[in-house]
Amino acid sequence: MPTLSGIFSQGLEILLALAAAPLLTGWVNICRAWLQNRRPPSLWQPYRMLHKLFNKESVVAEHATPVFRGAPYVVWACMTLACAIVPTLSTDLPLSPAADAIALVGLFALARVTISLAAMDIGTAFGTLGARREMLVGFLAEPALLMVLFSASLLTQSTLLTSIAGTLSHRDLAIYPSLAFAGIAFTMVSLAENARLPVDNPNTHLELTMIHEALILEYSGRHLALMEWAASLKLFAYSCIGLALFVPWGIAEAGNLMALLLALPLLVLKLAVGGAALALVESTNAKMRLFRVPEFLSMAFLLAVIGMLVHFLLGA
């Protein structure tokens, strides 16, 4: 039975993810503007955009089926559940035993399939184009992400993210070769999965380059707001997965209220540094051609596999 502290930690993590995900997106946009010598937007701009979209009417295509109408709710729910599984503040999460790292990848896959089916549902050229590209990226990124998670699970003998974070946080501060390879692979996968440069440009609407934007062109109003919110939640989830795997120190243990209070400012600090690093990567790299994306993700998969092999050879 889940304890009262576990229920509190779980609820706090979900509320934090829902509230802070747009803030992380706003912080990345500010850092990108600073690095590109532009006037930065407000940190609260994502919230204003969501407020505006939620108050607008949703215009739906005449021949749209329930798949198109229900996709935003399914995608948003998948991303929210993914954020609930990933340990951000505490490892005492009642939902964690119900879904391990493999199920987490399955949640991302379910969201991808849903949004791709919705994009093809109305029969526009842009939607079908974006769906095909999105499935190509997912087909190559998901195995690489699984190999990254398996590399971490070999060190901890568990596929539960809470167990992985708890075990790694008690180890001595050292560079593990397997995690070093896995960290590079995870960075490459997270850039592709979140439609960031150099794989995709979240600010473009050019037909020959866009992937994620092509999937949501036909959405408006609250449906578009849910899609944008889900994209921010996905970035937040991937950021927290990276922190749990490679920078797990500061995550509270079960029943430690004082550590839970200290975990919040540490999480904010780590996300701020990670957001600035993401902005730096995007500002120093140009978007690659679409046919180079398979090579990029294949390299990520290869690095993750090398990390697993290094663990078997060196035990580290």
281 close to 197: Cβ distance less than 8 angstroms:
yes
Please list the ranges in the chain whose pLDDT falls under 50. none
Rg (CA), the chain: 19
151 close to 101: Cβ distance less than 8 angstroms:
no
Instruction: Give the pLDDT of residue 205.
Output: 64
Instruction: Give the pLDDT of residue 8.
Output: 85
How many CA atoms does the CB half-sphere of 202 hold within 13 Å?
19
Which of 184, 161, 156 has the alpha carbon at shortest distance from 171? 156
Q: How many whole angstroms separate alpha carbon 96 and alpha carbon 82?
A: 10
Instruction: Give the pLDDT of residue 298.
Output: 94
Instruction: Give the pLDDT of residue 97.
Output: 79
pTM above 0.75, yes or no: yes
In Å, how far from its chain's centre is CA 99?
Answer: 16
What residue type is 55 in one-letter code?
N
